[in-house]
């Protein structure tokens, strides 16, 4: 009677087992290599995005940009103040023009009344 153990000792079974193990190992190595290749590609992309390829420090660059933004905001506030001042000046000029127009119309009305009174 042939048992499982004695069947495993057969040279043909051993050759088949070794071949199967080899095939599985080759497949696993192929899968691992493909995963490593993909990761290497992704790491290259990440490195391109975060690698400092110039002489200045990233933190110094950010601080410099923030200082520039602060200067822009200060300039904007100064312009806002000037704009409000100009708006007040323009509103004052408009009020003066309305007053002058009302006085001119009043004078024209009185002149017209005097003309009518003379021609009667």
How confident is residue 15, by pLDDT bands cut at 50, 70 and 90?
Answer: confident
* Distance set, CA 3 to CA 7, 8, 10 (Å): 6, 9, 11
pLDDT at 98: 96
pLDDT for res 57: 81
pLDDT digits (tens, 9 = 90+) for 69-108: 999 999 999 999 999 999 999 999 999 999 999 999 999 9
Per-residue burial over 59-86, b = 16 or more CB atoms within 10 Å of its CB, e = otherwise: eeeeeeeeeeeeeeeeeeeeeeeeeeee
| Sequence spans of domains, the chain | 10-50, 77-120
């Amino acid at each position: 009677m042939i048992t499982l153990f004695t069947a495993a000792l057969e040279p043909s079974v051993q050759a088949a087992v070794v071949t199967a193990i080899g095939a599985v190992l080759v497949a696993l190595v192929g899968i691992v290599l493909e995963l490593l290749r993909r990761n290497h590609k992704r790491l290259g992309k990440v490195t391109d995005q975060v690698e400092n390829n110039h002489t200045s420090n990233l933190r110094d660059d950010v601080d410099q940009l923030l200082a520039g933004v602060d200067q822009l905001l200060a300039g904007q506030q100064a312009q806002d103040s000037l704009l409000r001042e100009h708006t007040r000046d323009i509103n004052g000029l408009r009020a003066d023009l309305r007053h002058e127009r009302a006085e001119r119309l009043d004078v024209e009305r009185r002149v017209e009344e005097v003309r009518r009174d003379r021609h009667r």
